[in-house]
Amino acid sequence: MSLINSKTSEVRKDYSISELIEKSKEMRAWNMIGITLAKSGHTGGTMSIMDITAALYLKIMKHDPENPIWEDRDRTFWSTGHKAPALYVALGAAGYYNIEETAKLRRLWSGFEGHPNRFKLPGIELSSGSLGQGLGVAVGSAINAKLEKQDYRVYCIMGDGEQQEGSIWESVMSAAHYKLDNLVGILDRNKLQIDGKVADVMNVEPLEDKYKSFGWNVIVTNGHDMQKIVEAFEQAKTVKGQPTVIIFETVKGKGICYAENVAGYHGVPPKHGRCGDESLESALKSIGIADKFPKERLDAIFASVENYQKGVNKKVEAKLPKFKKNYWWNADPMMKVDMEPTRFGFGKALEIIGEDKNVVAHGSDITSSIKMDDFYKNHPERKNRFFSMGIAEQNMTVVAAGLAKEGKTAFIGSYGVFVTGRNWDQIRTTLCYNDLNVKIASAHAGISVGQDGATHQALEEIALMAYLPKMTLTVPCDSIETEKATHAMAIVKGPSCIRYAREATPIATKKDTPFVFGKANVIRFRKVTEKFVDAFEIKLAEKYKSEKEQLTIIACGPMVPEAMRAAWILKEQFKIEARVLNVHTVKPLDVKAILKAAEETGAIVTAEEHQAGGLGNIIAGAIARNKKYKTPLLMDMIGINDTFGDSGQPWELMKIFGLTAEFFVERARKIVAAKKK
């Protein structure tokens, strides 16, 4: 029983084993087409789970594509949200929408986000992406079926690396305790994760014995043998009095000759794009379905997505305020800027800091991506001071605390949303309350993470970290400042956090630009020059004398270069002088510099790649508590306005969320006009 007409209870389609095999090939093809066009995505895990997904959505689950919220439908929760492309092609194959639409994977407004968003597409039960959470939701859904005496079944798709998250085992325990025989865990055991082999990163075996010891029924089978897959699911339906986990033995990147069992293909598209040895066309041949996707058909698919993107580009550009000329990055023959990911600065600093034998570092499965591996990459002798913690941010934090308690300086890091959010209580109570010397790399912060979507876009951690007693927080503006801030953070005693982005951002400072931890910099636009960075004068705020500017833009992180560009536009187009205050250290805050700006300019606009008010409310609070109000003050805040991010190219997102200089200029002009009144 699978695809049901919920009104008549008739089976819409009953696939045979041979038909399922063919459908899984088609799904693999569309999966690779979407990932290739997106130029990002997870090849490895989507291919390892594909046969299982085809069987589940086309034969095992009871659901109706024409009635996605049918009360009696079976539910499937994708705890491994990064395998979203496999979910999308499954829903397309089942008839929820035209499967060809999945070629728009990770495109802005397409609905096919980097991680599933249940509000964007029919058939998605849960917005997910933070590993280790789906099984708990599945337990709650299964309990509800028992309470309401409904006969729907609940499935939860997990990865073997995901078993490193402690929350998984809390859910495993509760499912057995409540004897949820309507719950089936689907475990994709492909034995690889981002950092390498699961057994090497953080061994989770023996999984069969562990699940059995918790009271689960365990089935182990081949995850690429369609007959055995179906038999395992049918067997699970007969179990009474306990939940079942089906451990599917799979191959990461299955069906793609160059990606099979290659950890490097966990989260990357075909390296050669459409053509070449490691390409889409090579993948289609490997799957055995190239004849169904001849050049003419692929040309049409690629053209369709290109046209969609042109429409997106037009809408995005229409949102951008316009001036007498184009001031976008590197559009002008002058004011050229270099771009580099800020994380590179973190890596450079960490390599040097690692010379101190008292420094240890921890990895959390994205070690290379956040540049944490620079600690040991060129220094194999440091490997004994690097601790791979797997996908277990909470455990990583308290283990680092234990090392810090014994006198070590411990660095930890991950996506900002995970390393500051998931384990906030551990940071608060174990690190801060105990004043332990742990340094947090809040990497890939802000919406500039891009196509991964809202689950991976940290937009709240400035507030989360800044309000913790004993925590210090720095948000550097570019790779050069990130390197300086990392060195400074290593010297400061006690818990510290550095927030930096993933994608390339403008380099707005120089090696000799002043940097003092806890002290803001004033940036003033002077004149148009060949290089953007040379057009500005940067001084420590405490050494700056007022030039009677009409407003101050107070910014941190990637918003500093945008504020600088805004100052250029304001001066050149509107004769408005703007002071830019780079608050690279949010805590301790340079209150004197902020009060000085408030008193001398009378108008402040704060800017942050974060929920509006993270930095903004900290600035407002400092002024409210300390300003004598001899002069009036107008204030505005730029940031994300109480919403989550989206899936799209980083600069697309910066534009649609109003985080570029063009929007700063509009807000600045309004506040200056209001001040004159």
Pairing of strands 196-197, 192-193: antiparallel
Pairing of strands 409-415, 585-587: unpaired
Q: Was domain 521-676 assigned CATH 3.40.50.920?
A: yes
Q: Is the pLDDT of residue 249 over 80?
A: yes
| pLDDT tens string 182-195 | 999 999 999 999 99
Asked whether the CA dihedral 323, 502, 563, 506 is positive or negative, the reply is: negative
Per-residue tokens: 289: 């379905």
The percentage of the chain sitting over the pLDDT mark of 90, rounded to a whole number, equals 98
Among the listed residues 159, 150, 71, 87, the one whose alpha carbon sits nearest the alpha carbon of residue 123? 87
Pairing of strands 521-525, 504-506: unpaired
pLDDT for 677 = 80
| pLDDT tens string 399-413 | 999 999 999 999 999
Composition of the chain by helix, strand, coil, percent to 5: 45, 15, 40
Residues 523 and 526: their CA atoms lie apart, in Å, by 10
Per-residue tokens: 355: 């010379």
Q: Please, are residues 617 and 460 in contact by the beta-carbon 8 Å criterion?
A: no
pLDDT for 221 = 98
One-letter amino acid identity for 581?
A: L
Among the listed residues 609, 547, 608, the one whose alpha carbon sits nearest the alpha carbon of residue 578? 547
> For 590-626, what is the HEC assignment?
CHHHHHHHHHHHCEEEEEEEEECCHHHHHHHHHHHHH
For residues 628 and 144, the model is more confident at: 144
Assign domain 339-506 to a CATH class.
alpha beta
Whether 339-506 shares its CATH topology with 521-676 is answered yes
Residue carrying the six token digits 């024409």? 66
Q: Cα 50 vs. chain centroid, distance in angstroms?
A: 23
Mean predicted lDDT score pLDDT of the chain:
97
Q: Is the pLDDT of residue 591 over 90?
A: yes
For residues 677 and 271, the model is more confident at: 271
pLDDT for 2 = 85
Per-residue tokens: 619: 């600035």
Query: What are residue 393's DSSP bridge partners?
Result: none
| pLDDT tens string 567-580 | 999 999 999 999 99
Residues 118 and 441: their CA atoms lie apart, in Å, by 30
Cα-based angle 272, 277, 282 (whole degrees, multiple of 5): 95
Element (H, E) at 662: helix 661-676
pTM of the model: 0.96
Among the listed residues 599, 600, 509, 515, the one whose alpha carbon sits nearest the alpha carbon of residue 560? 509
DSSP 458: B
Residue 647: exposed, middle, or buried by beta-carbon count in 10 A (0-12, 13-18, 19+)? buried
| pLDDT tens string 594-643 | 999 999 999 999 999 999 999 999 999 999 999 888 888 999 999 999 99
Per-residue tokens: 670: 């309004």
Residue 634: exposed, middle, or buried by beta-carbon count in 10 A (0-12, 13-18, 19+)? middle
Q: How many CA atoms lie within 13 A of 539 on its CB side?
A: 12
Among the listed residues 153, 143, 148, the one whose alpha carbon sits nearest the alpha carbon of residue 174? 143
Q: Is the pLDDT of residue 1 over 80?
A: no
Q: Please, are residues 391 and 165 in contact by the beta-carbon 8 Å criterion?
A: yes
Show me where the domains of the chain are located: 3-292, 339-506, 521-676
Which architecture, in CATH terms, is 3-292?
Answer: 3-Layer(aba) Sandwich (3.40)
C-alpha distance from residue 493 to each of 376, 428, 442, 507, 609 (Å): 23, 16, 18, 29, 27
pLDDT for 629 = 81
Element (H, E) at 488: helix 479-491
Q: Please, are residues 346 and 483 in contact by the beta-carbon 8 Å criterion?
A: yes
Residues 310 and 592: their CA atoms lie apart, in Å, by 48
Interhelix angle 17-38/226-236, rounded to 10 degrees, is 100
| pLDDT tens string 318-360 | 999 999 999 999 999 999 999 999 999 999 999 999 999 999 9
DSSP strands (E only) in 288-388: 339-341, 359-363, 386-388
| pLDDT tens string 51-79 | 999 999 999 999 999 999 999 999 999 99
